Amino acid sequence: MSHRSFSVFRKIFSEFSKLPLRGVAIKQQTAYTHKSELLASLQQVKTFHTTPIVAKDKITINLIDRKGEKHTTSANIDDTILDVVLDNELNFESFGVCEGTVSCSTCHVIFEDGVYSLLEEPLMDEMDMLDLACGLTETSRLGCQVYLTKEMDNCTVTLPREITDARDV
């Protein structure tokens, strides 16, 4: 390699290594909720993308918190709602206390009608915990079990107002 192309190569490499890691490494910040096979993902602890992360992997999602404030953020497809909240450090109080293991109902969110019908039917474990959530509606789901798809671009997800029982107050 000539001297000039080597220095170009070195420059590209140093730029390249500053890119954020995709795949499992980022997800370590949150409860690991990606759909991929466990063993395969463990073998590739660090995966580098050879191309920069492109917009088509992301969608925009609006989240309305318990006080009624709207947060708009971009989110990766195949992440869960809980991932979105944690990755973007939205700091919703008492959201996802059990970290996505379907042991509580604090990540209870309400979808719009049109978006709700796009979602896969909840699994039995989720239904058991969803039954115990406060203020259950016809379009409620647990945020840690809903994976984002392209069709959900620009949807609005609402957190219910109270996490304690509405009947107490």
Partner 1 sequence: MLSCLQKASRRRSFDYFKVICIVRLQHAQVQSKETAVKDFSEIPQPKSLPILGTFLDYTKFRGFNVANLSNLFKARFDELGPIYKETIIPGLSEPTVHCFSPQDNEKLFRLESRLANRDPIEFLKVVRERIGVPSGLVNIQGEEWYQLRRIVNEHFLTNSSVWSYSKDIHEVSEDFVDYISRSLDSNNEVPNFALALNKWALEGAGVFSLDTRFGMFTGEVEEHLQEIVDNSNLMFQLMAELTVAPPFWKYFETKQIRILIFVLDLLSRYYALKQCQAAQVAAIKKQRDILLKRIKEKDPEKLTKLEKLMTKEVDILVSDMLGGGVDTTSNAAAFMLYIMAVNPDKQEILREEIKTALQSGKVDGKSLQRMKYLHACALEAQRMFPLTPGTSRRLPVDVVLSGYNVPAGTRLLLLSNVAHHKNPEYFDQPESFLPERWLERKHKSKQEWSNFMSTRSGFAMIGSFGMGARACPGRKFAMQEVHYLLISLLSRYKVEYHHKPIKPHFRLVTVPSEEPQFTFIPL
What is the closest distance, in whole angstroms, from the C-beta atom of residue 122 to partner 1 in the complex?
Answer: 9
What is the closest distance, in whole angstroms, from the C-beta atom of residue 1 to partner 1 in the complex?
Answer: 34
First to last CA, the chain: 74
* Tokens (6 digits) for 150: 């392209």
> Of 99, 119, 156, 160, which one interacts with partner 1 (CB under 8 A)?
99
What is the closest distance, in whole angstroms, from the C-beta atom of residue 167 to partner 1 in the complex?
Answer: 9
> What DSSP character marks residue 5?
H
| DSSP assignment string, 125-150 | HHHHHHTTSTT--TTEEEGGGPBP-G
> Of 28, 44, 62, 74, which one interacts with partner 1 (CB under 8 A)?
28
> Of 21, 26, 77, 134, which one interacts with partner 1 (CB under 8 A)?
134
- For residue 15, give the H/E element and its range: helix 3-17
Q: Which whole-number Å values give the CA distances from 139 to 12, 25, 34, 74, 114, in the listed order? A: 48, 33, 23, 22, 9
Cα separation, 73 vs 26, whole angstroms: 17
State the amino acid at position 53 in one-letter form: I
Q: Which of residues 48-87 bind partner 1 (CB under 8 A)?
A: none
Q: Does 164 bind partner 1 (CB under 8 A)?
A: yes
Residue among 34 and 63 whose Cβ is closer to partner 1: 34
What is the closest distance, in whole angstroms, from the C-beta atom of residue 39 to partner 1 in the complex?
Answer: 7
Query: Which residues contribute to the site for partner 1 (CB under 8 A)?
Result: 25, 28-29, 31-39, 41-42, 45, 91, 93-94, 97-104, 121, 123-125, 127-128, 131-134, 136-138, 140, 163-165, 168-169
